[in-house]
A = this chain, B = another copy of it.
Amino acid sequence: MTTVVKPSTRERLLEAAATLTYRDGVGIGVEALCKAAGVSKRSLYQLFASKDELLAASLKERASAFVAELLPMTDDDRSPRERILYVFDQLEEQAGASDFQGCRYLAAQIELKDQSHPASQVAHRVKENLTAFFRAEAERGGASHPDLLARQLSLVFDGASARAGIGADKLTGLITPTVTPLLEAARMH
């Protein structure tokens, strides 16, 4: 027997914030968020100190899905090189969706234009973890300069997701020929 658990007020607010800010931007109003969540403003402010805190919490809540959709399993038998390429294959696949607007963590930081904003700080940490994944794989794969390679791969990730998100590039046939010369230059195996 399956028990259907009704999402809590908090969960509905986090979901509405994640969906609406991704679609419309961080400037989305509190009224629209409450309406989409089917929640009163009073309830919102009982759960979150401010809209900024709701945004930060919604980005944080999505972080595990972001990781699960992009990164390979920790214990798979892929080589470090294959594990890096896996991330970019996932990105290319995600970018094919009609509602793809680029990486939500990059977009939030660009839109907020304030590195001290609680949501920017969450977004910054989530992407630092991606860079740390690249760095760990670079090191395991014997890259000549793991720090540099991790920065390069993060740059390619953000450039590709931004350009796909704005419709400037469909990414077809672009990412592998961009990442491979960087892996080669770092003598990754």
Contact = CB atoms under 8 A, between A and B. Distances in A.
Interface stretch (A48-56, A78-86, A157-165): A157-165
Contacts of A166: 106, 109-110, 115, 120, 124
Interface string A103-146: 00011011101010000100010011000000000000000000
Contacts of A151: 169, 174
Nearest to A112: B25
A7 interface: no
Interface residues of A, number: 43
The main secondary structure of chain A at its interface with chain B is: helix
Given A110-B102, A166-B106, A159 B155 contact: yes
Copies in the complex: 2
A132 to B, nearest CB: 13
B113 A24 contact: yes
A55 to B, nearest CB: 14
A111 B159 contact: no
Given A110-B111, A158-B159, 20 more contacts: A23-B113, A25-B113, A101-B110, A106-B110, A109-B166, A110-B110, A110-B162, A110-B165, A115-B166, A124-B168, A148-B177, A151-B169, A152-B178, A155-B156, A155-B159, A155-B174, A155-B178, A158-B162, A180-B185, A181-B185
**8 A-B pairs with the lowest CB-CB distances in the bound complex, closest first:** A159-B159, A181-B181, A109-B166, A27-B27, A155-B159, A181-B185, A158-B159, A152-B178
